[in-house]
Amino acid sequence: MEPTVGDKAGNIAKSLQYIAEAADNGADLVVLPELCNSGYVFESLEETRALAEPVPGGPTVDAWEKIAAERGLHIVAGIDEADGDTLYNSAVVIGPGGYLGTFRKVHLWNRENVFFTPGDLAFPVFDTPLGRIGALICYDGWFPESYRECALQQADIVCVPTNWVPINGQDPNREAMANILTMAAAHSNSVFVACADRVGTERGQPFIGQSLIVSYTGWPIGGPASADAEQILYADADLDDTARSRAWNAFNDNPLGDRRPGEYRSAG
């Protein structure tokens, strides 16, 4: 998806169009990019605040709750959240019955630190009829602890609204580093991961697209998507497989079961 910074009404309308299209094609869980209701490259704190809204109870979540109820969907999507005077780069989790909860981005990237406060809700995992859903946002995926926190709470899938940007040293003939990190995290934590990136260039900042859906095996089952065009990815995922996958052989329950925290001397 390519949001337009400042055009909240247009961004909400576009998101509803794509959510409806995904539902028409059988989707049960829809993931949208980071800050997809507001755009990303803010010029000032005042602009960021003007585009922010309470969660729940704001116009964006109200619109997503309505379509989730109408279409029997779960939605995870990025939003510019206002909690009183404090702003968060957040992801909202919504089910057919309404708002389920919020993840607030823990690891802020670059000038996000000017506009947002780091998340204070840790890494919540939400129990749903589809399975246990965790959420991260963009740069959170560079920290193995983020995925591990979700996996230790028995998440079946981690949904990642993101706005990936070009990374120094990227080999143009290889997968995006973001994709490699996502695949590794899915494999080492035995979780499905669904990353929804944005495309386009906003106020001079390019974004790399290449959204993907990854099995608990670490291999993509959807995408990577286009680097520069809006696109919906689909994949069939039996989230019950995540629990079954957590026994690799007679001696190893995979890295979750084989952890030895007492030996991790520098952890903290």
66 is catalytic: no
In whole angstroms, what separates CA 26 from the centre of its chain?
20
138 a catalytic residue:
yes
- 64 domain residue, yes or no: yes
> What is the pLDDT of the chain when averaged over all its residues?
96
H helix or E strand, kind and range, residue 86: strand 86-95
Residues 151-163 pLDDT 10s? 999 999 999 999 9
Q: Give residue 249's pLDDT.
A: 85
Structure tokens at 55: 């969660």
In a domain, 262, yes or no: no
Question: pTM (2 decimals)?
Answer: 0.96
> Could you list the residue range(s) of the whole structural domain that residue 226 is in?
8-252
Catalytic, 34? Answer yes
In a domain, 215, yes or no: yes
Which of 138, 150, 159, 195 is flagged as catalytic?
138
Q: Give me the number of domains the chain comprises.
A: 1
Q: How many CA atoms lie within 13 A of 254 on its CB side?
A: 20
Confidence band for 248, pLDDT divided at 50, 70 and 90: confident
Residue found by looking up tokens 């708002």 in the block: 99
Least confident of 73-82, 213-222, 242-251: 242-251
CB 39 within 8 A of CB 200: no
Q: What average pLDDT does this structure show over 205-226?
A: 97
Confirm whether 259 is domain-assigned.
no
Please tell me which residue in 2, 8, 34, 53 is annotated as part of the active site. Answer: 34
Rounded to 5 degrees, φ, ψ at 53 are -155, 160
Q: The domain that contains 218 carries what CATH number?
A: 3.60.110.10
Confidence (pLDDT) at 267: 60
- Inside any domain, residue 199: yes
Would you state the pLDDT for residue 257?
83
**Catalytic residue from among 2, 53, 81, 105:** 105
